[in-house]
Structure formats: C-alpha cells, structure tokens
Amino acid sequence: MSDETRSAGLDAVAEGPRPAAASRTPPEGEEPDPVGHPSVEALPERFGDAVLYHRVYAGDQHVVWIDPARNVEILGWLRDDPEQHYDMLSDVTGIDYGHGRPVEVVYQLFSTRYLRKLRVRCALPLDALEIDSVYDLWKSANWLEREVFDLFGVTFRGHPDLRRILMPHDYAEGHPLRKDFPLRGRFTRAEQTRRALAQEVEHYYFDEEIRLGGEPQELYPVEPGTLPPAQPEQAAEEAES
C-alpha cells in the first residue's frame, strides 16, 4: 500500500461515519402475496390498518411493520393465539438508517409448535424514541431491550430495570450504534483516557456486588511444565475417593 493510499484511508477514519444511504423503509415496490404464511394472512384481518407493510427477504423471512403504539397488543396476540403460538422471542434489536429516518425496533419471533418464524418491526421517530416493553410477554426481552436502550437510545416503557448493559452506567458520549455517533466517540482521546484512569471499582460494580464478592481468589504459583497444586477442596475430595 502506498503512503498516499494509506494517508487517504486514515483521513477517512478520522472523518468518522458517513450518512447512511437512503432508508430502505418504508419498503418500496409491490407488497408480496401473504398467502403461504398463516400469521401474515391473519394479522391484517385482525388488526387492520395497524399492520403497515409486509415484505419477504432472503427467500423465506417474512417481515411485517406494525403501529408501534399497538406493539404489545399485536405481539401479545401472536404469542397467545393458538393458531400463532409464537412462544419464543429470540431477539430484539434496533436499526438506524441515518438521514433523519426513524429508528426501528425489531422483534424476531419463533413458534416452537409450528416451526414458524416471523419478524416484526416498529419505526420510531427520532423525537419520540419510546415504545412499550414486551418483558411481560417474554422474559427474554429483559436484557435485549436494555441493549437497544444502551446502543440506540430507545426507551422501553414499563421495563423493570432499564439501564445500560454494555456501556458504563454513566457513559456520557451517547449511543454507539446510532449513525450520528462519531467513529472515535464524542470526547477527545485525552478526555477518554482521563476518564478511564479515574475510574474506581465502584464504577462497574454496585456496593452490594462488592460486599458479596468475598475475599479475592488466592493464586497458586505454577512452575513451567508442571500442573498446578490441588486446592484444599479438590484435595479433600480426592482423599475421600
């Protein structure tokens, strides 16, 4: 690689992320025929205009967009109706297309009874990034919604413990998976380093976790090429056997 090419590449990194291409949603083109997926057929009949769009991706992944104001109602029906029975929520994630387009919350559902999958999406305007939590429908939504809150800035109303899960609880640079998030963060490297060096153990652990942690684990020196000595509990078990 020439010095000129290398310099151009580093300049692109320093500039940070570029705006995303034009949003892919709402989806363009003709709506595909829903026949062949019972849930896609039943949803408009049950909820009418609250079902906004339907598309198929990767050959067999049916995706429906719904009114975010009715997400718990619609998702609850998909879970509880015996003809749907989506008893498994395998993922909740977010999508930001940039260009001021809505941030989408995406639910990946699976029915273990019918071996059927369905993806449901809700588009939220940037000035109203809030939606009801589905924790009461699927407990697996707990940490998944926290991740979307942490990385995209979406608030899940009614969540029992909505706080950051990947970034520190007092992280002040925003939401790292948003398109407007700078490549190197919002603070200078010097400020990021200063904050990292100033952190205490309480920064990552709550007082109760520290109290329950007990004494530090004792380390046993091991000579190269030898096995570590048996710890007292292990030695007692071996003596009894």
Average of per-residue pLDDT across 144-158: 97
Q: Which two tokens stand for residue 202?
A: 């309480």
Q: How many domains does the chain have?
A: 1
Residue 70: phi and psi, rounded to 5, are: -120, 25
Return d(Cα 180, Cα 189) in angstroms, integer.
18
Domain, as residue range, for 99: 24-209
Q: What does the pLDDT look like over 195-212, one tens digit per residue?
A: 878 777 666 666 666 666
Asked if residue 34 belongs to a domain, the reply is yes
Q: What does the pLDDT look like over 54-83, one tens digit per residue?
A: 999 888 899 999 999 999 999 999 999 999
Asked if residue 109 belongs to a domain, the reply is yes
Poorest-confidence range of 101-110, 112-121, 127-136, 195-204? 195-204
Is residue 172 very low, low, confident or very high in pLDDT (cuts 50, 70, 90)? Answer: confident
Return d(Cα 209, Cα 189) in angstroms, integer.
31
Is residue 232 very low, low, confident or very high in pLDDT (cuts 50, 70, 90)? Answer: low
Asked if residue 147 belongs to a domain, the reply is yes
Asked if residue 182 belongs to a domain, the reply is yes
pLDDT reported for residue 198: 79
Q: What does the pLDDT look like over 221-231, one tens digit per residue?
A: 556 666 555 55
187 vs 207, residue with greater confidence: 187
Return d(Cα 220, Cα 236) in angstroms, integer.
17
Residue 13 pLDDT greater than 50, yes or no = no
Cβ neighbours, 10 Å, residue 135:
21
Residue 166 pLDDT greater than 80, yes or no = yes
Residue type, 170: D
Q: Are 148 and 94 in contact (CB under 8 A)?
A: yes
The CATH number of the domain holding residue 94 is 3.30.460.80
Average of per-residue pLDDT across 158-175: 90
Asked if residue 93 belongs to a domain, the reply is yes
pLDDT reported for residue 5: 46
Strand pairing report for 103-111 and 116-124: antiparallel
Asked if residue 65 belongs to a domain, the reply is yes
20 vs 91, residue with greater confidence: 91
Per-residue H/E/C for the chain: CCHHHHHHHHHHHHHCCCCCCCCCCCCCCCCCCCCCCHHHHHHHHHHHHHEEEEEEECCCEEEEEECHHHHHHHHHHHHHCCCCCCCEEEEEEEEECCCCCCEEEEEEEEECCCCEEEEEEEEECCCCCEEECCCCCCCCHHHHHHHHHHHHCCEEECCCCCCCCCCCCCCCCCCCCCCCCCCCCCCCHHHHHHHHHCCCHHHCCCHHHHHHCCCCCCCCCCCCCCCCCCCHHHHHHHHHC
Is residue 189 very low, low, confident or very high in pLDDT (cuts 50, 70, 90)? Answer: confident
Per the prediction, the chain carries an average pLDDT of 81
Asked if residue 103 belongs to a domain, the reply is yes
Asked if residue 118 belongs to a domain, the reply is yes
Residue 188 pLDDT greater than 60, yes or no = yes
